[in-house]
Amino acid sequence: AGGRRPVRYARPTLAARAARVLRDNDTGAVITAAPRLYPHMWSWDAAFISIGLARLDLPRAVAELETLFKAQWRNGMVPHIVFTDDDAYFPGPDRWGTDTAVDGPRDVRTSGICQPPVHAIAVQRMLEIARTSSPEERADAERFARSIWPALYSWHRWLVEYRTPGSSGLIAIVHGWESGMDNSPRWDVPYAAVNPGDELPPYVRKDVRVIGDPSERPTDKEYDRYLWLIEEMRRAGYDQKEIVRRSSFLVGDVFITALFAVSCDVLIELGTEFGQDEDKLADLALWASRARDAVAASCHSVSGMARDRDLRANRWLDTQTIAGFAPLLCGGAPDEVQLRLLSLLDSDRWCGHPGLLAPVPPSVSPMRPGFNPRQYWRGPQWPVVNWLFGWAFERRGWHERARKLREAGLRLTDDGAFGEYYEPFTGEPLGSTDQSWTAAVVLDWLC
């Protein structure tokens, strides 16, 4: 560990290596999120993986999302993990104990929470890619988009029905893992109110055995809280209404809300093309507009940054992280706020920081107290997050900005290690290497 990176791969070699990572992580049933550290299917990872796979093997990409949606709960929730038989990850299915959940899926074992709704985005991107390929691939992708649409709709409906409590309009999470940004300082305040009881069953972490330097991972204290929240949900039998009423963590997540808004737009585009029910399209339009309003209403009057809201303590969470740029993903904030956010993103507090190896937004500003360049969601750069902003900028017609983010993303990842996350100053790959979603977004950037 440490030091500058020795190798920089030329693009064709980088693409070949990325393709090999996805092939090597394929168990035949699923493409695991990473070898060793994450030997299962993760919900939002699977979406990004399908985008990368669409370039290599469209049927395999389709199969991946079909596998995920086969695990969709009867109430519409898409679970954050679909378990394989591998027991190298903790918490595994026994600890989650979702087998007896009323709404749980049959035949597969899953966790009992969700992750960001980026799946419609993946389906549309797969379709775009297939349309540049053969007529057969195009037809297959269209068939797939049409057939998965109702499941995507019911997933979005679940988020509205169960996860928009109170009046903020923000989509609420009941566990930091649902945000995908597990230990981000975004959650420090609400987590401080989570007090693991004496009845927290003992456990042994496995992640720190895989990752050589445990300081790149969340702390044990954080893990106690993560496990305590699972314990609460398990005791509630994974009854969503009950969890939202009582769990010790309930936070309106502005980044998920922005992704939800833009995913609803995408779903409307797909649904219109494939002749889906008008009422459902109208629902999606309403949900998108409410979500956008909620994101805009969260913006801080001085910084312009969007904020999460602690729904237990009824207060805004002012911690500034990459999630504060959420309005740039979905639009809807006043022009003046948007301009402020764009210049902040370009400034030396974010992408313009002179010390960065590549101008990719770090998860936390290097100028903030508490920024940690090596620890997980507390500072490092995450290629998937960069992909999301690039994708959104392209969609919004900001082609030059999108191109720059793509180039910067490739600069960061041209070491060919496909790090889970990167040290922003040295570009050292951290966490897992050969991480599937990193390989997938690199493939998408390269093609």
Interface residues toward ligand 2M8, by CB under 6 A = 33, 38, 42, 44-45, 80, 177, 180, 182, 207
Nearest to 328 by CA among 350, 348, 309: 350
| CB-side neighbour CA atoms (13 Å) of 213 | 11
* Amino acid in the structure at residue 203: Y
Least distance in angstroms from the C-beta of 159 to ligand 2M8: 17
Least distance in angstroms from the C-beta of 181 to ligand 2M8: 7
Instruction: Look up residue 154 and give its two tokens.
Output: 């019911």
Residue 355: how many other CB atoms lie within 10 Å? 10
Instruction: List the catalytic residue out of 103, 137, 182, 394.
Output: 182
Least distance in angstroms from the C-beta of 392 to ligand 2M8: 18
Instruction: List the catalytic residue out of 178, 265, 414, 420.
Output: 420
Given the complex with ligand 2M8, which of 89 and 149 has the nearer CB atom?
Answer: 89
Least distance in angstroms from the C-beta of 279 to ligand 2M8: 33
Torsion-angle region of 397 (φ positive above 0: left; ψ -120 to 50: alpha; else: beta): left
| CB-side neighbour CA atoms (13 Å) of 367 | 12
Q: Which residue is nearest to ligand 2M8 (CB)?
A: 180
Given the complex with ligand 2M8, which of 393 and 437 has the nearer CB atom?
Answer: 437
Given the complex with ligand 2M8, which of 114 and 296 has the nearer CB atom?
Answer: 114
Q: Which is it for the CA torsion 17, 33, 295, 377, positive or negative?
A: negative
Given the complex with ligand 2M8, which of 37 and 341 has the nearer CB atom?
Answer: 37
Given the complex with ligand 2M8, which of 283 and 308 has the nearer CB atom?
Answer: 308
**Strand (E) or helix (H) holding 321:** none
Name the pairing type of β-strands 308-310 and 315-317.
antiparallel
Nearest to 35 by CA among 211, 168, 173: 211
Instruction: Look up residue 301 and give its two tokens.
Output: 């009057």
Residues 270 and 123 sit within 8 Å (Cβ to Cβ): yes
Indicate if 407 belongs to the active site: no
β-partners of residue 42 are 81
Least distance in angstroms from the C-beta of 340 to ligand 2M8: 28
Return d(Cα 215, Cα 236) in angstroms, integer: 33
Given the complex with ligand 2M8, which of 45 and 64 has the nearer CB atom?
Answer: 45
Least distance in angstroms from the C-beta of 182 to ligand 2M8: 5
Indicate if 64 belongs to the active site: no
Least distance in angstroms from the C-beta of 146 to ligand 2M8: 28
Question: Measured between alpha carbons, how far is residue 48 from residues 87, 118, 149, 216, 217 in Å?
Answer: 24, 8, 18, 23, 22
* The residue to which tokens 């790090």 are assigned: 419
Measured in whole angstroms, the distance separating CA 230 from the mean position of its chain's CA atoms is 20
Residues 6+ apart with CB under 8 A from 290: 164, 169
Given the complex with ligand 2M8, which of 380 and 427 has the nearer CB atom?
Answer: 380
| Residue 3 backbone dihedrals phi, psi, to 5 degrees | 85, 170
Which residue numbers are catalytic? 182, 420
